[in-house]
Structure 1
């Protein structure tokens, strides 16, 4: 099952802010995009905005099928 599509949009940031987000993302082992999404979710949660948990794409190898002997 594929993850639902995400909305793409351009975002302009101050270079110092981007650099700070980039450092935070690296320390959390995330991409800058994932870090921005995480920070936005945390900020919304602090304001009391309830969001459903994000749907995560399945990672790793698919399970082996019984009888598939390749």
Structure 2
């Protein structure tokens, strides 16, 4: 992955606090929230560069779902089969 640019950003403390709260609610860092919002603004304005990469996913990888096997499925009502169902 290419190196990421480091930028010093000066914000009003109230704006930073609001961004930090919003980021926390969306389970992002404040930095990731700022990048997310800047990318959305660029995209909405039609100014997103074609060569811009995707935002890298951070954190633990998602667990893959085990393949579903219909043969091992329990009865849907959760009970055991009755005499007519045997």
Q: TM-score, normalised by structure 2?
A: 0.58
How many residues are matched? 59
Match status 1:10 vs 2:8? yes
Instruction: List alignment gaps of at least 5 residues for structure 2.
Output: 62-86
Q: Which has the higher contact order (CA 8 A, sep 6+)?
A: 1
- CA offset digits 1:17-58 (Å, max 9, x no partner): 000100110001000000000000011111111333425268
Moved over 6 A (4+): none
| Residue aligning to 1:23 | 21
State the alpha-carbon separation in 1 of the partners of residues 3 and 60 from structure 2.
Answer: 20
Contact 2:39–2:48 (CA<8 Å) still a contact in 1?
A: no
Q: TM-score, normalised by structure 1?
A: 0.70
Which protein is bigger by CA-based radius of gyration? Answer: 2
Instruction: List alignment gaps of at least 5 residues for structure 1.
Output: 62-70
Q: What RMSD, in angstroms, separates the aligned Cα atoms of the two structures?
A: 2.2
